[in-house]
Amino acid sequence: MYRYLDHRTADLAPAEAFIVAATRKWVGAVSKRKCPADAVASDFLDRGLMAGVGAFHRILTVLNVRARLRFGFAMEGCPLIAEGEALILSLLQERCSRAVTLQCIFGQEHVAEVCSAAIDDFNAALHVAGMPL
pLDDT tens-digit series, residues 18-68: 999 999 999 999 999 999 999 999 999 999 999 999 999 999 999 898 888
Q: What is the mean pLDDT of the chain?
A: 90
Domain assignment present for 59 = yes
Domain assignment present for 81 = yes
pTM: 0.89
Closest by CA position to 6, among listed 72, 64, 56, 96? 72
Domain assignment present for 4 = no
Structurally, the chain folds into a number of domains equal to 1
| Structural domain boundaries enclosing 110 | 9-128
pLDDT value at residue 96 = 63
Domain assignment present for 94 = yes
Domain assignment present for 133 = no
Domain assignment present for 36 = yes
Domain assignment present for 122 = yes
Q: How far apart are CA 66 and CA 27, in angstroms?
A: 15
